[in-house]
Amino acid sequence: MTLTLRQCAQIAARHIATIFGVAAVWIVFFRLNGLIFYGLDHSVFASWIFLPAAVRILAVLIFETPAAWGLMLGAFATSAPGTDMSHVLAICFMSGFAPYVAVRVCQKYMGLSSDLSGMGVGDIIRLSFYGALSNAVLLNLTLFVLGTTHIDLVQVGTVFVGDLLGTALVIYALAALLWLLSSRRKG
């Protein structure tokens, strides 16, 4: 199939809009997380509740590769001031790569579709679990390789629990909102 220049421009425009849209949503959830759960950080890299983890999983599941780029851009925009640029870039890469890996693995082995159709509670729990596990392991491995941290199981556990709880809170809040909206339409 050959694409026209116009079709290529439309695809590029959609991808760019997705990248910037996902980055904006990441920034909002990152700031919201800081306001609501201030003081629940184990370190600058780990929070016991991390709402943006849901953005990672849902964005990559729905928007695929452009979402991973948007997550990287959002992570760059919210990186801690004064952090070494090589560390910032590595963390940004992991912010997009880890959920991409988790979603792809779940799609391949669990048969998840990108339009969320047919997903049950168990699928959401497994996807959240693998997203949290992927991020906790890959982020901490990256930080260890860069010499930022040593292998700290509390840090790994904090990232895992924070991502899992953050994803669960956002997904259940969305489910409650959808339930409210659907019950109002019926009533």
Q: What is the pLDDT of residue 187?
A: 62
Q: Which domain holds residue 133?
A: 5-186
Q: What is the pLDDT of residues 83-142, one digit of tens each?
A: 888 888 988 999 999 999 999 998 888 887 766 667 777 888 888 899 999 999 998 888
Q: What is the mean pLDDT of residues 153-181?
A: 87
Going by C-beta distance under 8 Å and a sequence separation of 6 or more, which residues neighbour residue 110?
A: 123, 126, 127
Residue with tokens 């679990």: 129
> What pTM did the predictor assign?
0.87
End-to-end CA distance of the chain: 48
Residue type, 77: A
pLDDT at 149 over 80: no
The distance of Cα 41 from the centroid of its chain, to the nearest Å, equals 18
Q: Give the pLDDT of residue 30.
A: 93
What pLDDT sits at residue 91?
A: 87
pLDDT tens-digit readout, 46-97: 788 999 999 999 999 889 999 999 999 999 999 988 888 888 898 899 999 9
Total count of domains within the chain:
1
Both tokens of residue 120? 């049950």
Q: What is the SS3 assignment for 149?
A: coil
